Amino acid sequence: MPYPLLSKEISSKIAQKYMDLITAYYQQLREMKISREGFSKKLRMVVGDDHLLKTAITAPQRLPHTAMKMEPVTGDC
């Protein structure tokens, strides 16, 4: 799930101070100060695995149908 979508989904469910912390971690990731794995661990510590899993499953279901349009898979590599 892309960070902007994840951020939008969890921002209304956690305290602002935690959202600020997650945003700071994401900035560190973008600046290559931490790895993607490091960011994921910190995100999981702040938000919690259960909440992240629930968000990852339910958020795409609330997207407009056109936003979920997938390109057909072809045999070309």
Evaluate if residue 30 carries a pLDDT over 80. yes
71, HSE (Cβ side, Cα atoms, 13 Å): 3
Span 12-28, pLDDT tens digits: 888 999 999 999 999 99
Integer Cα distance of 53 and 60 in angstroms: 12
Predicted confidence at residue 61, as pLDDT, reads 56
Domain map (residue ranges) of the chain: 3-61
| pTM of the shown model | 0.67
Who wins on pLDDT, 58 or 3? 3
Q: What is the pLDDT confidence band of residue 59, given thresholds at 50, 70 and 90? A: low
